[in-house]
Structure 1
Amino acid sequence: MAKKNVTKIDPRKELSPYLNHVSNQKKKKKNTKVSTSLSKLHLQRRKSLSKNLGIILGFSIIAILCFGYYISPLANINSVQVTGAPDLSAKEVVESSGMEVRDKVFDYLFKNKKLTNNLTAKYPEVKSAAVSVKGLNNLVIQIHEYETIGYIKDGTKYRKILSNGKIGSQALLWDNINQDKPIFIGYNQRVSLKSDLKLFNSLDAEFRDQVKLLSGSTRRKTQIILVMKDGNVVIGNVATLKNKIKYYNAIKAKAGKNALIDLEIGAFSRPLSTSEKKAYGIS
């Protein structure tokens, strides 16, 4: 039997072109990807550098402008306006604040605490103060005052009685006060004023609003006299009036107008005499 000729084929030799082609394609893709990544990285770095340079340049320009403004005459205080304290002299407030025209505007923008300390040292009515800028170089001092509880008569004028228990620095004319607030008269001793004021503040707001006048001219230190807006007069004891004031409306309804309602010991009422009306300023 005749032998067949067998041709030997090397698989690696046959596959070599294909394998080389695939390998080359992978290398090309890899090189392309690396090249693309590097390009993107360079682009991102350029953008980041440009952004940082822009920020630094912007801050530098702002800093130069601020410094130029600060050293220029435009930064000097041109005027000072005072708001929130109509009874205080604006000129005296500015003088007490320590501000001067040659000072710089920015020097006072962050000194509200010092400003408040300067003003409260002179004016009991000032609770706090703050500074703001209006325009380029005009300052505004905004003052916040303590609430006015009433007024104490001082000769022919009146001074505020403040919620912090102090007396206002300004002597005001009758036309310049809030006439809805009660007037405290005859209080020559601050001790009696303090105790009566403490009692008054402890009463219900509805009753306080009806009080026109409190008189310190009493027969006893423990006595308190209140003249009401409805023309009645209430006499009480400082220690017990708060508990007895709840009977006021019921007694007033029976007593009518211009009556003396005595709550000092018991609880009774009678019409006011002509001399009493005159003494309490009731017409």
Structure 2
Amino acid sequence: MAIFNKGSKHQKHSEPLTPWEQYQQNAADQEQTEQRRHIKWSGKRLRIGDKLPKLKTQRRRSLFKRVTLLLAIFAVGALVAGYFISPLSHVQRVTVTGTDKLTSSQVKSATKIQSGVALWSVIGHDQRTSQRANQAQAQIGKVTTKLVGVNNVRVTVKEIKIAGYLVTGQNYRRVLENGLILKSTYSQPGGGSPIYANFKSGSRLEKMIAQYAKLPSAVKHNISEIKYAPSKANAERVHLYMNDGNEVYATITTFANKMAYYPGIVAKMKTRSIINLEVGAYSYSFKNKNN
């Protein structure tokens, strides 16, 4: 009978194992498998045990972060609520800029921006404020607001300028450069703006005002009266009386472009004259006046 080493699994046999030897070999293999399984599961249990303190630390950190976040949100909410309740959230002082004819009191009244109103109802609502102000005061075109410091507000107004006074019977009505004719009447026109006379058509008057609005300020202030004076050859003719003593004939549709030459023409004239801008640009003395 051949001799075999029972403890060696890898020994090669020259002859088949007997039933007894096969049984011993199987028992040894099973014991080794159980030992490896025990070591494997023991290792797992040790590794999970090692991780338990880390998991507890992570949970504490996560809880701390959530509590901190909640406290921060609560603090911010309390600060915001406190601000809106405190006097700091209300307008303390209002400064008005950009006006010409309007007063600060008129602007404050039209915009309803005054000391004591809530800042949140003013800042960021320029479009609504402009609409409200224009309804109350037609000369207010656009309003912009800016927060200055903690609770001071600067109100900047784009004022619609006065284009002149329209003759209506024995009275005068103020006309704005956007073509709007105000309802209020005056017994005398104000200074610095021309008088519009003989304008029967509202559309023709609007065209004339639109042309006037394009003129430089120096030329505007030199016009005393704009009289609608059509002729057979020119249905759009207007007759101007200037503050410097000259007179001008022009056409409504080309009025702004032609009046740009007025200062240069006057500089070359030796005496007060009549300037015709209907066709071309030339002047002649009052002695040769022929309408």
Partner of 2:98: 84
Question: One-letter code of the match for 2:164?
Answer: I
- Name the CA distance, whole Å, in 2 between partners of 1:275 and 1:80: 59
The count of residues paired between Structure 1 and Structure 2 equals 248
Structure 1 residues 32 and 238: alpha-carbon distance in aligned structure 2, compared to 1, 3 A threshold: same
Say whether residues 1:271 and 2:284 are aligned partners.
yes
Question: One-letter code of the match for 2:227?
Answer: S
CA deviation string 1:22-75 (max 9, x = no partner): 862675268537854x66665555444433332322221122223223333444
Correspondence list, 1:247-266, <5 A: 256-257=268-269, 260-264=274-278
- Name the CA distance, whole Å, in 2 between partners of 1:261 and 1:107: 55
Partner of 1:5: 3
- Name the CA distance, whole Å, in 1 between partners of 2:166 and 2:284: 30
Contact 2:163–2:209 (CA under 8 A) maintained in structure 1: no
Contact 1:259–1:271 (CA under 8 A) maintained in structure 2: yes
Contact 1:115–1:129 (CA under 8 A) maintained in structure 2: yes
Where 2:91 maps in the other structure, the secondary structure is coil
- Name the CA distance, whole Å, in 2 between partners of 1:15 and 1:121: 100
Shift of 1:188: 6.8
Say whether residues 1:115 and 2:129 are aligned partners.
yes
Question: One-letter code of the match for 2:136?
Answer: K
Long gaps (5+) in structure 1? 175-182, 277-283
CA RMSD in angstroms comes to: 4.9
Partner of 1:219: 229
Say whether residues 1:24 and 2:39 are aligned partners.
yes
Shift of 1:229: 11
Question: One-letter code of the match for 1:238?
Answer: I
Question: One-letter code of the match for 1:5?
Answer: I
Tell me which of 137, 147, 151 is aligned to 1:137. 151
Contact 2:110–2:137 (CA under 8 A) maintained in structure 1: no
Contact 2:83–2:89 (CA under 8 A) maintained in structure 1: yes
Contact 1:124–1:167 (CA under 8 A) maintained in structure 2: no
Question: One-letter code of the match for 1:273?
Answer: F
Where 1:216 maps in the other structure, the secondary structure is strand
Shift of 1:119: 0.9
Say whether residues 1:235 and 2:245 are aligned partners.
no
Partner of 2:164: 152
Question: One-letter code of the match for 2:208?
Answer: D
CA deviation string 1:228-260 (max 9, x = no partner): 999986523335x47x959x97xx88x953664
Tell me which of 119, 144, 153 is aligned to 1:105. 119
Contact 1:211–1:226 (CA under 8 A) maintained in structure 2: no
Partner of 2:69: 55
Contact 2:166–2:196 (CA under 8 A) maintained in structure 1: no
Shift of 1:83: 2.7
Where 1:121 maps in the other structure, the secondary structure is helix
Structure 1 residues 211 and 26: alpha-carbon distance in aligned structure 2, compared to 1, 3 A threshold: farther
Partner of 2:180: 166
Where 1:85 maps in the other structure, the secondary structure is coil
Partner of 1:185: 195
Identity of paired residues, percent?
A: 20
Question: One-letter code of the match for 2:43?
Answer: K
- Name the CA distance, whole Å, in 2 between partners of 1:216 and 1:10: 128
Say whether residues 1:127 and 2:137 are aligned partners.
no
Question: One-letter code of the match for 2:93?
Answer: S
Contact 1:161–1:167 (CA under 8 A) maintained in structure 2: yes
Partner of 1:196: 208
- Name the CA distance, whole Å, in 2 between partners of 1:238 and 1:80: 43
Question: One-letter code of the match for 1:115?
Answer: T
- Name the CA distance, whole Å, in 1 between partners of 2:138 and 2:156: 16
- Name the CA distance, whole Å, in 1 between partners of 2:30 and 2:75: 68
Partner of 1:66: 80
Where 1:217 maps in the other structure, the secondary structure is strand
- Name the CA distance, whole Å, in 2 between partners of 1:259 and 1:275: 10
- Name the CA distance, whole Å, in 2 between partners of 1:238 and 1:26: 104
